[in-house]
Amino acid sequence: MNVTQAIKQRHSTRAYLDKAVSQQQIQSILEVARFAPSGVNMQPWQVAIISGQKKSSLQQQMQTAFEKGDKESMDYHYYPTRWVEPYKSRRIATGTELYTALDISREDKARRLQQWQANYRAFDAPIMLLFFMDPNLETGSYIDYGMFLQNIMLLAEEQGLATCPQGALAEFPKLIKNFLNYDESLILLGGMALGYEDKDHVVNQYRTTRVEVPEFSQFFE
């Protein structure tokens, strides 16, 4: 598999097989992903790898908090506080594609809530990755972190694994840091589901679109 194939093949996977991913596999991915570039080589990434009973306990706590309405504030704003075009339309289209694939109507609030809660289980993938960053770092380190995350996803593709990067896994930062005994001052950036794709599941059949190159680029000579 070359880089082009890995990039085009990668997609956000929301249904996984009940098949274990070994610690050795994850270790090998992180061994290479760590070569991502970062400003003055700060390497801002701190990764928690959660599986087994620990994952079951954590996801249950998040689901319970969600059901009780015990909302928390994320450590940073992932999404804009005011949606403008074209981002508003893209957001709506993405949600529509997801719920259409699952045959969940706009009126079916119960099933929509159930699907949203699947976020807190990392879509039942065997591995949940959580990403933390020192609060003393600035915006440049968010950019660096993105390159590290992309490395993880492409390396997972190379190993026949699937992923789904998840902002939703950063919605309960206090709960998660308390559960993992992490310093409360750390920034929880988000998480990622990691496992083997259930290729027969309908939720994995659709693909989001991308705008064409001329729509976002200009050449100057």
CB 72 within 8 A of CB 179: no
Whether pLDDT at 136 is above 90: yes
Instruction: Look at 136 and 107; give whichever has higher pLDDT.
Output: 136
| Domain assignment present for 36 | yes
Question: What is the distance between the alpha carbons of residues 9 and 90, in angstroms, rounded to a whole number?
Answer: 21
| Domain assignment present for 60 | yes
Per-residue pLDDT reduced to its tens digit, 142-196: 999 999 999 999 999 999 999 999 999 999 999 999 999 999 999 999 999 999 9
| Domain assignment present for 187 | yes
- What's the predicted TM-score (pTM) here? 0.95
Nearest to 132 by CA among 61, 73, 71, 180: 180
**Number of compact structural domains in the chain:** 1
Question: What is the distance between the alpha carbons of residues 111 and 65, in angstroms, rounded to a whole number?
Answer: 18
Let me know how many helices (H) and strands (E) the chain has, helices first. Answer: 7, 4
How high is the mean pLDDT of the chain?
96
Question: What is the distance between the alpha carbons of residues 64 and 70, in angstroms, rounded to a whole number?
Answer: 9
Task: Show the domain range for 162.
Answer: 3-78+121-204
The neighbour count for residue 101, using CB atoms within 10 Å, is 16
| Domain assignment present for 198 | yes
| Domain assignment present for 113 | no
Q: How confident is the model at residue 106 (pLDDT cuts 50, 70, 90)?
A: confident
Query: Which pLDDT value is given to residue 73?
Result: 96
Question: Does residue 80 have a cis peptide bond before it, meaning omega lies within 30 degrees of 0?
Answer: no
Question: What is the distance between the alpha carbons of residues 189 and 168, in angstroms, rounded to a whole number?
Answer: 10
Residue type present at position 127: I
The residue count for the chain:
221
| Domain assignment present for 93 | no
| Domain assignment present for 173 | yes
The neighbour count for residue 207, using CB atoms within 10 Å, is 10
Whether pLDDT at 131 is above 90: yes
CATH number of domain containing 197 = 3.40.109.10
Q: How confident is the model at residue 68 (pLDDT cuts 50, 70, 90)?
A: very high
For the ranges 5-19, 52-66, 98-112, 137-151, which has the lowest average pLDDT? 98-112
CA atoms within 13 A on the CB side of 17: 11
| Domain assignment present for 43 | yes
